Amino acid sequence: MSTEIERKFLVADLPDLGPTEKALVRQGYLTAPDDSTELRLRQKNDRYYLTLKGGGTMVRVEREAEISAEQFETFWPETEGRRVEKERYTGELPDGRVFELDVFVGDLAPLRLVEVEFLSEPEAQAYTPPKWFGTDVTADKRYKNKTMAIDGLPA
């Protein structure tokens, strides 16, 4: 079983994005709004994925498979009304950890979130983020992509 351990933060100040890798991302959700398990389609530049994420906030099950563009397009219409679009910047922090900074576009602009993954729960809980990270929203379900895809920007 694959487990994802991550923390999510609002972005207080954008860092220098020069040394990052940029991807255009669109994703949509196939599961019902009240289902705690997420089944997601994602296009990241010219690659396509089907991802299952279990319930939870900081620690949850994650399984992902790369799919073809044709498979993606077959199911994409079923995500209508449950989509997000963003620019994702992937970079390295001074401590060697990788960050993923999402700058949302469309209805979720100007929201910016950054995520960092960890090997263990104690490591995640002990983490001290850099100054450009803002408020920790890991446990705030309003900032889950699926929730925002359905409900829009958190109030």
Burial of residue 46 (number of CB atoms within 10 Å: 0-12, 13-18, 19+): exposed
Q: What span, in angstroms and rounded, lies between the C-alpha atoms of 130 and 134?
A: 9
User: What confidence category does residue 36 fall into, taking pLDDT thresholds of 50, 70 and 90?
Assistant: confident
Compute the CA torsion angle 128, 133, 137, 139 (nearest 10 deg): -20
Does the structure show a pLDDT above 60 at 55? Answer: yes
Q: Whole-angstrom Cα distance, residue 146 to residue 148?
A: 5
| Rounded distance between C-alpha atoms, residue 155 and residue 146, angstroms | 16
Q: Is 29 a catalytic residue?
A: yes
Q: In the chain, what is the greatest distance between 2 CA atoms, to the nearest angstrom?
A: 43
For residue 76, the model assigns a pLDDT of 98
The arithmetic mean of pLDDT across residues 38-44, rounded, is: 96
Residues 75 and 69: beta-carbon distance below 8 Å: no
Contact 105, 86 (CB under 8 A): yes
pTM of the model: 0.92
Confidence class for position 1, pLDDT limits 50, 70, 90:
low
Structural domains present in the chain: 3-149 (2.40.320.10)
